[in-house]
Amino acid sequence: MSINRKPSYISLVMFCLLTVVWLPGFAESVNPFAIGDQLQLKQSGAATTASASARTAFVDSTDKPARVAVVSDLHVRGDNQKMLDAAVKAVNKLPDIDAVAITGDLCKKIGSPAEYSDMIEVVSRFKMPVYATPGNHDILYRDHFGAEGKKLRTSPTERKAKLERFRKALKLKKLRFTRKMGGHLLVFLPNDDPQGKHLVTLSTATLNFLKETLKKNPDVPTIVFCHAPLAGSYVKPRKLGFYNANAQPHAKISAILKKNPQVFLWVSGHLHIAPSSPEYDNKANKVGKVTVIHTPAITPSSSWMRVLDLSPARAKVRTYNAKTGKYVKKLDRVFKHKVSKDKKDEDEKQDDKDKEIDSDKDDDNAADDNIAIEPEDDDMEEGEADIGEDDPTVDYGSDDDANDADNEADSDEELDSAGDQNSSTDASAAAENAKEVIKDLIRVISDFLKGIWNGILKILKV
């Protein structure tokens, strides 16, 4: 009898142990906000992000020339991994890149723990500091889909938790912050209004931060980074509608910028405007005295980025094709500032250095100039077909109304872009959703098996 009791006793202990270990993990996978809004991302990428950033310590320098690579709308997922890899490799390989700025929508669709895990794995491979602002797909939606795979809006409490998730994942001390580089002030503004009804809404605290920051730096050329562009910085109306296509509250933002002429660039993504679009380099990009720099999305077939060459005398905005490894020179933009002769001389020396680096690639770049204006399938101006963008109404009567409007646009964008991408089919979208479910299931099973193994080791006192 003693031989039979021992296995029974061990089984009972193991069952109780596994229940204690497994149930909290299961509850978290169902509702990650149910346990004190704590984010537990156990993937290796999070630690790697910290170590990567630590390798290149950042020091604010007003006068030293600096170079910033800008990418946007990564929407990290399976079918664009090749182009994401190209972007990371290009940034790490380009000479003298001091930092990477990412203007939102890093996550695929809803910013769930699984999507954040995938995103961190990609972003952690950058070898220099990463400065990011959240987009709507990072913080605006719940961690699970509703009926028929529809996105659901978060509550204010959940949105605050997801903003904190974003901050921790990107290893940022704060969501709104500044950096001084190459004689310029860089201002990063988050999409952080917990009760915002539109896709990109800056909180009152962020607007006050912008006002105070600009007030303290009236004579420093300033560049603002935000997920959405300024109203009026493109030509054709968007299906998103006026309020959801632009940073809000647009009137208050406009009033702040008018009082601060030192702001000359606003760098954004959100609309997925590619170099092949006539809106990419257009007179309409200039709103008042501020020029909006639209940053393309990373798609399954393209990997474009902006590169900002900064010095006290000027800011040079370049377009780089990570897929081909070439700049498109005809899309260069130069913004000059009033400085002393000494600083102008330093700037000219930097230009000469850049010319030497590019001198062997002039013929290749000329060919790439022609490629850039062709209407390729990377011209996903309003959202990729398998991702879609949102089309909420201008004002919401309820959360249900917002949820319905958010998802109606996904269908509209899939229909509009069906000819541009094979991945726009319903079958592909269903497959992607299935992959996410499988990933979540694998994580639950993995935690379950780890619990069993730990329980056995404790019983055996190993």
Q: How would residue 271 be classed by pLDDT, with cut points 50, 70 and 90?
A: very high
Asked if 273 and 232 touch (Cβ cutoff 8 Å), the reply is no
User: What is the helix (H) or strand (E) element at residue 439, kind and residue range?
Assistant: helix 426-460
Closest CA to 221 of 308, 295, 305: 308
Average pLDDT for 192-197: 95
Q: How many CB atoms lie within 10 A of CB 80?
A: 26
Average pLDDT for 404-426: 37
pLDDT of res. 11: 57
The most confident of the ranges 19-23, 36-40, 224-228, 417-421 is 224-228
Cα 166 to Cα 154: distance, rounded to the nearest angstrom: 15
Residue 246: helix, strand or coil by DSSP?
Answer: coil
Q: What is the pLDDT of residues 207-218, one digit of tens each?
A: 999 999 999 999
Q: How would residue 317 be classed by pLDDT, with cut points 50, 70 and 90?
A: very high
Q: How would residue 301 be classed by pLDDT, with cut points 50, 70 and 90?
A: very high
Counting Cβ atoms within 10 Å, is residue 359 exposed (0-12), middle (13-18) or buried (19+)? exposed
Q: Is residue 127 scored above 80 in pLDDT? A: yes
Enter the tokens of residue 209: 């931060």
Cα 116 to Cα 105: distance, rounded to the nearest angstrom: 11
Q: How would residue 24 be classed by pLDDT, with cut points 50, 70 and 90?
A: very low
Q: How many CB atoms lie within 10 A of CB 215?
A: 11
The chain-wide mean pLDDT, for the chain, equals 77
Asked if 245 and 268 touch (Cβ cutoff 8 Å), the reply is no
Decide which of 161 and 40 is more confident.
161
Q: How would residue 455 be classed by pLDDT, with cut points 50, 70 and 90?
A: confident
The most confident of the ranges 29-43, 296-310, 412-426 is 296-310
pLDDT of res. 31: 36
Decide which of 314 and 398 is more confident.
314
Instruction: List the single range of 25-39, 70-84, 196-210, 443-457 with lowest mean pLDDT.
Output: 25-39
Using alpha carbons, list the distances in angstroms from residue 110 to 220, 362, 428: 37, 42, 17
pLDDT of res. 425: 30
Q: How would residue 14 be classed by pLDDT, with cut points 50, 70 and 90?
A: low
Residue type, 80: N
Q: Is residue 298 scored above 60 in pLDDT? A: yes
CB pairs under 8 A, 24+ apart, for 436-443?
436/112, 436/114, 436/115, 439/114, 440/29, 440/114, 443/29, 443/114
What are the structural domains, with CATH classification, of the chain?
A: 1-30+437-462 (no CATH), 44-372 (3.60.21.10)
Average pLDDT for 63-75: 96
Q: Is residue 397 scored above 50 in pLDDT? A: no
pLDDT-above-90 percentage for the chain:
59
Q: Is residue 25 scored above 90 in pLDDT? A: no
Counting Cβ atoms within 10 Å, is residue 114 exposed (0-12), middle (13-18) or buried (19+)? buried
Q: Is residue 277 scored above 50 in pLDDT? A: yes
Q: What is the pLDDT of residues 320-366, one digit of tens each?
A: 999 999 999 999 999 999 876 655 556 656 555 555 545 444 444 44
Closest CA to 390 of 266, 244, 254, 277: 244
Q: Is residue 230 scored above 80 in pLDDT? A: yes
User: Cα torsion for 39, 45, 51, 54, to the nearest 10°?
Assistant: -70
The DSSP 8-state label assigned to residue 66 in this structure reads E
pLDDT of res. 8: 54
The DSSP 8-state label assigned to residue 297 in this structure reads B
pLDDT of res. 456: 78
Pure H helices in 36-152: 44-55, 81-93, 113-123, 136-139
Counting Cβ atoms within 10 Å, is residue 4 exposed (0-12), middle (13-18) or buried (19+)? exposed
Counting Cβ atoms within 10 Å, is residue 120 exposed (0-12), middle (13-18) or buried (19+)? buried
Average pLDDT for 243-247: 97
Cα 256 to Cα 243: distance, rounded to the nearest angstrom: 18
Using alpha carbons, list the distances in angstroms from residue 441 to 29, 33, 438, 445: 9, 19, 5, 6
Decide which of 42 and 100 is more confident.
100
pLDDT of res. 451: 72
